Amino acid sequence: MVKRILTAAVAIPIGILILVLNNPHIIAAVVAFFSVAAVYEILNVTKYIQHKSVSAISLVFSLGYPLLACYVKSEAIITAVAFLFVLAMFSVMIFEHKKIQYEEMTFIGFVSLCIPFAFSTLSSFVFKYPEHGIFFIVYVLAVTWIADGGAYFAGTFLGKHKLCPEISPKKTWEGFFGGVISAGVFGVLLGYGYMLWDSIFTGENHFTLNYMLLVITGLIGAVLGVLGDLSASLLKRKYGAKDFGNILPGHGGIMDRFDSVLFVAPFIYVIFQLFFPITAL
Protein backbone atom coordinates (compact mmCIF):
# COMPACT_ATOMS: atom_id res chain seq x y z
CA MET A 1 0.00 0.00 0.00
CA VAL A 2 2.84 2.39 0.86
CA LYS A 3 4.39 1.83 -2.56
CA ARG A 4 1.06 2.51 -4.27
CA ILE A 5 0.61 5.77 -2.39
CA LEU A 6 4.17 6.95 -3.04
CA THR A 7 3.93 6.10 -6.72
CA ALA A 8 0.61 7.91 -7.02
CA ALA A 9 2.05 10.92 -5.15
CA VAL A 10 4.75 11.19 -7.81
CA ALA A 11 2.87 10.10 -10.94
CA ILE A 12 -0.31 12.15 -10.46
CA PRO A 13 1.43 15.57 -10.23
CA ILE A 14 3.56 14.68 -13.26
CA GLY A 15 0.45 13.69 -15.21
CA ILE A 16 -1.36 16.89 -14.20
CA LEU A 17 1.67 18.97 -15.19
CA ILE A 18 1.79 17.35 -18.63
CA LEU A 19 -1.90 18.08 -19.16
CA VAL A 20 -1.66 21.65 -17.86
CA LEU A 21 1.27 22.43 -20.15
CA ASN A 22 -0.96 21.31 -23.03
CA ASN A 23 2.05 20.87 -25.30
CA PRO A 24 1.09 18.49 -28.14
CA HIS A 25 4.71 17.46 -28.73
CA ILE A 26 5.21 16.44 -25.09
CA ILE A 27 1.92 14.55 -25.08
CA ALA A 28 2.84 12.79 -28.33
CA ALA A 29 6.20 11.73 -26.86
CA VAL A 30 4.59 10.46 -23.63
CA VAL A 31 1.94 8.50 -25.53
CA ALA A 32 4.60 6.96 -27.80
CA PHE A 33 6.55 5.90 -24.71
CA PHE A 34 3.42 4.34 -23.17
CA SER A 35 2.79 2.49 -26.43
CA VAL A 36 6.21 0.90 -26.74
CA ALA A 37 6.36 0.19 -22.99
CA ALA A 38 2.99 -1.59 -23.05
CA VAL A 39 3.97 -3.74 -26.03
CA TYR A 40 7.31 -4.59 -24.41
CA GLU A 41 5.55 -5.63 -21.21
CA ILE A 42 3.25 -8.00 -23.08
CA LEU A 43 6.12 -9.50 -25.07
CA ASN A 44 8.06 -9.94 -21.85
CA VAL A 45 5.18 -11.62 -19.99
CA THR A 46 4.49 -14.00 -22.88
CA LYS A 47 8.23 -14.68 -23.32
CA TYR A 48 7.94 -13.75 -26.99
CA ILE A 49 10.59 -11.11 -26.41
CA GLN A 50 13.09 -13.92 -26.96
CA HIS A 51 12.33 -13.70 -30.69
CA LYS A 52 14.68 -10.75 -31.10
CA SER A 53 14.15 -9.92 -34.78
CA VAL A 54 10.36 -9.87 -34.58
CA SER A 55 10.40 -8.10 -31.22
CA ALA A 56 12.72 -5.38 -32.52
CA ILE A 57 10.42 -4.69 -35.47
CA SER A 58 7.43 -4.74 -33.14
CA LEU A 59 8.93 -2.25 -30.66
CA VAL A 60 10.11 0.14 -33.37
CA PHE A 61 6.64 0.19 -34.90
CA SER A 62 5.00 0.56 -31.48
CA LEU A 63 7.10 3.63 -30.81
CA GLY A 64 6.76 5.12 -34.27
CA TYR A 65 3.09 4.62 -35.08
CA PRO A 66 1.67 7.02 -32.45
CA LEU A 67 4.08 9.69 -33.70
CA LEU A 68 3.11 9.06 -37.32
CA ALA A 69 -0.56 9.34 -36.42
CA CYS A 70 0.10 12.80 -34.96
CA TYR A 71 2.57 14.32 -37.38
CA VAL A 72 1.81 12.70 -40.73
CA LYS A 73 -1.38 13.99 -42.30
CA SER A 74 -1.46 11.54 -45.18
CA GLU A 75 -3.51 8.43 -44.40
CA ALA A 76 -1.86 6.75 -47.38
CA ILE A 77 1.59 7.10 -45.80
CA ILE A 78 0.37 5.81 -42.43
CA THR A 79 -1.32 2.85 -44.12
CA ALA A 80 1.83 2.17 -46.13
CA VAL A 81 3.96 2.10 -42.96
CA ALA A 82 1.53 -0.30 -41.31
CA PHE A 83 1.59 -2.49 -44.41
CA LEU A 84 5.40 -2.49 -44.43
CA PHE A 85 5.34 -3.54 -40.79
CA VAL A 86 3.15 -6.54 -41.65
CA LEU A 87 5.40 -7.46 -44.58
CA ALA A 88 8.47 -7.24 -42.35
CA MET A 89 6.87 -9.50 -39.75
CA PHE A 90 5.97 -12.17 -42.30
CA SER A 91 9.39 -11.91 -43.96
CA VAL A 92 11.15 -12.56 -40.67
CA MET A 93 8.83 -15.47 -39.94
CA ILE A 94 9.61 -17.06 -43.30
CA PHE A 95 13.35 -16.90 -42.67
CA GLU A 96 13.06 -17.93 -39.02
CA HIS A 97 10.15 -20.36 -39.25
CA LYS A 98 12.07 -22.97 -37.30
CA LYS A 99 12.45 -20.61 -34.34
CA ILE A 100 9.09 -18.86 -34.23
CA GLN A 101 5.65 -20.37 -34.54
CA TYR A 102 2.98 -18.87 -36.75
CA GLU A 103 0.69 -18.35 -33.73
CA GLU A 104 3.42 -16.45 -31.91
CA MET A 105 4.09 -14.18 -34.85
CA THR A 106 0.42 -13.38 -35.40
CA PHE A 107 -0.03 -12.60 -31.70
CA ILE A 108 2.95 -10.24 -31.72
CA GLY A 109 1.66 -8.60 -34.89
CA PHE A 110 -1.83 -8.20 -33.43
CA VAL A 111 -0.57 -6.62 -30.20
CA SER A 112 1.86 -4.39 -32.08
CA LEU A 113 -0.92 -3.01 -34.29
CA CYS A 114 -3.75 -2.68 -31.77
CA ILE A 115 -1.96 -1.14 -28.79
CA PRO A 116 -0.16 1.66 -30.69
CA PHE A 117 -3.40 2.43 -32.54
CA ALA A 118 -5.33 2.67 -29.27
CA PHE A 119 -2.74 4.88 -27.59
CA SER A 120 -2.38 7.09 -30.67
CA THR A 121 -6.01 8.19 -30.37
CA LEU A 122 -5.11 9.93 -27.09
CA SER A 123 -2.41 12.13 -28.59
CA SER A 124 -4.45 12.62 -31.75
CA PHE A 125 -7.01 14.55 -29.69
CA VAL A 126 -4.62 17.42 -29.04
CA PHE A 127 -3.60 17.59 -32.70
CA LYS A 128 -7.15 17.28 -34.01
CA TYR A 129 -8.68 19.70 -31.50
CA PRO A 130 -5.90 22.04 -30.28
CA GLU A 131 -8.26 24.06 -28.06
CA HIS A 132 -10.18 21.17 -26.51
CA GLY A 133 -7.87 18.16 -26.85
CA ILE A 134 -6.93 18.08 -23.16
CA PHE A 135 -10.60 17.87 -22.20
CA PHE A 136 -11.03 14.85 -24.47
CA ILE A 137 -8.00 13.09 -22.96
CA VAL A 138 -9.18 13.83 -19.42
CA TYR A 139 -12.66 12.63 -20.37
CA VAL A 140 -11.29 9.29 -21.64
CA LEU A 141 -9.16 8.74 -18.54
CA ALA A 142 -11.89 9.91 -16.17
CA VAL A 143 -14.58 7.69 -17.68
CA THR A 144 -12.25 4.72 -17.40
CA TRP A 145 -10.78 5.30 -13.96
CA ILE A 146 -13.95 6.64 -12.34
CA ALA A 147 -15.68 3.48 -13.57
CA ASP A 148 -12.91 1.44 -11.91
CA GLY A 149 -13.35 3.37 -8.68
CA GLY A 150 -17.14 3.11 -8.76
CA ALA A 151 -16.91 -0.60 -9.45
CA TYR A 152 -14.51 -1.08 -6.54
CA PHE A 153 -16.72 0.64 -3.98
CA ALA A 154 -19.97 -0.84 -5.28
CA GLY A 155 -18.40 -4.28 -5.39
CA THR A 156 -16.92 -3.91 -1.89
CA PHE A 157 -20.16 -2.89 -0.20
CA LEU A 158 -22.79 -4.52 -2.41
CA GLY A 159 -21.02 -7.22 -4.40
CA LYS A 160 -22.53 -10.69 -4.15
CA HIS A 161 -22.70 -12.06 -7.69
CA LYS A 162 -19.39 -12.83 -9.42
CA LEU A 163 -18.88 -11.39 -12.90
CA CYS A 164 -16.05 -13.58 -14.25
CA PRO A 165 -14.73 -15.60 -11.31
CA GLU A 166 -12.30 -17.64 -13.40
CA ILE A 167 -10.66 -14.53 -14.86
CA SER A 168 -11.02 -11.88 -12.16
CA PRO A 169 -12.42 -13.36 -8.92
CA LYS A 170 -12.99 -10.00 -7.22
CA LYS A 171 -15.21 -8.49 -9.91
CA THR A 172 -18.97 -8.61 -9.33
CA TRP A 173 -22.05 -7.67 -11.30
CA GLU A 174 -22.93 -5.12 -8.63
CA GLY A 175 -19.52 -3.56 -9.05
CA PHE A 176 -19.90 -3.60 -12.82
CA PHE A 177 -23.16 -1.66 -12.75
CA GLY A 178 -21.83 0.65 -10.05
CA GLY A 179 -18.88 1.49 -12.28
CA VAL A 180 -21.02 2.05 -15.37
CA ILE A 181 -23.39 4.40 -13.54
CA SER A 182 -20.47 6.28 -11.96
CA ALA A 183 -18.88 6.83 -15.36
CA GLY A 184 -22.12 8.07 -16.91
CA VAL A 185 -22.78 10.57 -14.12
CA PHE A 186 -19.21 11.80 -13.85
CA GLY A 187 -18.94 12.17 -17.65
CA VAL A 188 -21.78 14.71 -17.60
CA LEU A 189 -20.36 16.53 -14.57
CA LEU A 190 -16.96 16.73 -16.23
CA GLY A 191 -18.46 18.10 -19.44
CA TYR A 192 -20.47 20.72 -17.55
CA GLY A 193 -17.43 21.62 -15.45
CA TYR A 194 -15.32 22.10 -18.56
CA MET A 195 -17.92 24.38 -20.13
CA LEU A 196 -18.18 26.41 -16.92
CA TRP A 197 -14.40 26.64 -16.48
CA ASP A 198 -13.92 27.80 -20.06
CA SER A 199 -16.61 30.47 -19.79
CA ILE A 200 -15.03 31.80 -16.58
CA PHE A 201 -11.48 31.61 -17.92
CA THR A 202 -12.20 33.25 -21.28
CA GLY A 203 -15.16 35.41 -20.26
CA GLU A 204 -17.26 33.95 -23.08
CA ASN A 205 -19.45 30.91 -23.58
CA HIS A 206 -17.72 29.05 -26.42
CA PHE A 207 -19.42 25.70 -26.13
CA THR A 208 -22.69 23.86 -26.12
CA LEU A 209 -22.76 20.32 -24.80
CA ASN A 210 -24.79 17.33 -25.85
CA TYR A 211 -25.37 15.89 -22.38
CA MET A 212 -27.24 12.83 -23.61
CA LEU A 213 -24.34 11.89 -25.86
CA LEU A 214 -21.93 12.34 -22.95
CA VAL A 215 -24.06 10.03 -20.82
CA ILE A 216 -24.27 7.35 -23.50
CA THR A 217 -20.56 7.66 -24.27
CA GLY A 218 -19.69 7.36 -20.60
CA LEU A 219 -21.88 4.30 -20.10
CA ILE A 220 -20.56 2.45 -23.14
CA GLY A 221 -17.01 3.57 -22.37
CA ALA A 222 -17.28 2.07 -18.88
CA VAL A 223 -18.41 -1.27 -20.35
CA LEU A 224 -15.50 -1.23 -22.81
CA GLY A 225 -13.15 -0.44 -19.93
CA VAL A 226 -14.25 -3.60 -18.14
CA LEU A 227 -13.75 -5.56 -21.37
CA GLY A 228 -10.21 -4.23 -21.67
CA ASP A 229 -9.43 -5.00 -18.05
CA LEU A 230 -10.77 -8.55 -18.30
CA SER A 231 -8.88 -9.14 -21.55
CA ALA A 232 -5.63 -8.11 -19.88
CA SER A 233 -6.44 -10.22 -16.80
CA LEU A 234 -7.08 -13.24 -19.01
CA LEU A 235 -3.68 -12.78 -20.66
CA LYS A 236 -1.91 -12.47 -17.29
CA ARG A 237 -3.71 -15.52 -15.94
CA LYS A 238 -2.77 -17.55 -19.01
CA TYR A 239 0.91 -16.79 -18.53
CA GLY A 240 0.92 -16.86 -14.73
CA ALA A 241 1.81 -13.20 -14.24
CA LYS A 242 0.58 -11.02 -11.39
CA ASP A 243 1.48 -7.77 -13.18
CA PHE A 244 2.71 -6.86 -16.64
CA GLY A 245 5.65 -4.89 -15.25
CA ASN A 246 7.02 -2.93 -12.31
CA ILE A 247 7.68 0.50 -13.77
CA LEU A 248 5.03 1.84 -11.36
CA PRO A 249 5.87 0.29 -7.96
CA GLY A 250 2.77 -0.97 -6.23
CA HIS A 251 0.68 -0.55 -9.38
CA GLY A 252 2.52 -2.74 -11.87
CA GLY A 253 3.33 -1.74 -15.42
CA ILE A 254 1.93 0.61 -18.03
CA MET A 255 -0.45 -2.11 -19.21
CA ASP A 256 -1.72 -2.64 -15.68
CA ARG A 257 -2.73 1.04 -15.49
CA PHE A 258 -3.95 1.50 -19.05
CA ASP A 259 -5.49 -1.85 -20.00
CA SER A 260 -8.98 -0.41 -19.45
CA VAL A 261 -8.15 2.65 -21.55
CA LEU A 262 -7.17 0.70 -24.66
CA PHE A 263 -10.74 -0.02 -25.77
CA VAL A 264 -12.22 3.20 -24.42
CA ALA A 265 -9.91 5.70 -26.14
CA PRO A 266 -10.56 4.60 -29.76
CA PHE A 267 -14.30 4.38 -29.12
CA ILE A 268 -14.57 7.88 -27.67
CA TYR A 269 -12.27 9.24 -30.38
CA VAL A 270 -14.59 7.85 -33.06
CA ILE A 271 -17.69 9.16 -31.27
CA PHE A 272 -16.24 12.65 -30.98
CA GLN A 273 -15.20 12.52 -34.62
CA LEU A 274 -18.73 11.62 -35.67
CA PHE A 275 -20.77 13.76 -33.31
CA PHE A 276 -18.37 16.17 -31.56
CA PRO A 277 -20.49 16.75 -28.43
CA ILE A 278 -18.77 20.06 -27.69
CA THR A 279 -19.29 22.48 -30.52
CA ALA A 280 -17.66 25.90 -30.76
CA LEU A 281 -20.24 28.65 -31.08
3-state SS string for the chain: CHHHHHHHHHHHHHHHHHHHHCCHHHHHHHHHHHHHHHHHHHHHHHCHHHCHHHHHHHHHHHHHHHHHHHHCCCHHHHHHHHHHHHHHHHHHHHHCCCCCCHHHHHHHHHHHHHHHHHHHHHHHHHHHCCCCHHHHHHHHHHHHHHHHHHHHHHHHHHCCCEEECCCEEEEEHHHHHHHHHHHHHHHHHHHHHHHHHHHHHHCCCCEEECHHHHHHHHHHHHHHHHHHHHHHHHHHHHCCCCCCCCCECCCECHHHHHCCHHHHHHHHHHHHHHHCCEEEC
Report residues of the chain scoring pLDDT below 50: 277-281
How confident is the model at residue 20, as a pLDDT? 81
- Range of 214's domain? 130-281
Q: Are residues 137 and 246 in the same domain?
A: yes
Question: Is residue 61 located within the same domain as residue 143?
Answer: no
Within this chain, do residues 119 and 221 fall inside the same structural domain, yes or no? no
The pLDDT score that the predictor gives to residue 280 is 39
Instruction: From 104, 128, 152, give the residue that closes a domain.
Output: 128
**Average model confidence (pLDDT) across the chain:** 87
Please check whether residues 137 and 266 belong to one and the same domain.
Answer: yes
Residues 134 and 207 placed together within one structural domain of the fold: yes
Instruction: Please check whether residues 175 and 47 belong to one and the same domain.
Output: no
Examine the fold and report which residue of 107, 128, 149 is the final residue of a domain before the chain moves on: 128
Q: What is the pLDDT of residue 203?
A: 59
Residues 236 and 207 in one domain: yes
Residues 159 and 254 in one domain: yes
119 and 137 co-located in one domain: no
Domain count along the chain = 2
Domain check: are 143 and 78 in the same one? no
36 and 19 part of one domain = yes
The predicted structure's pLDDT at residue 281: 34
Give yes or no: residues 135 and 263 share one domain.
yes
Q: Which of residues 68, 98, 128 is at a domain's end?
A: 128
* pLDDT on residue 70: 92
- Can you give the pTM of this predicted structure? 0.90
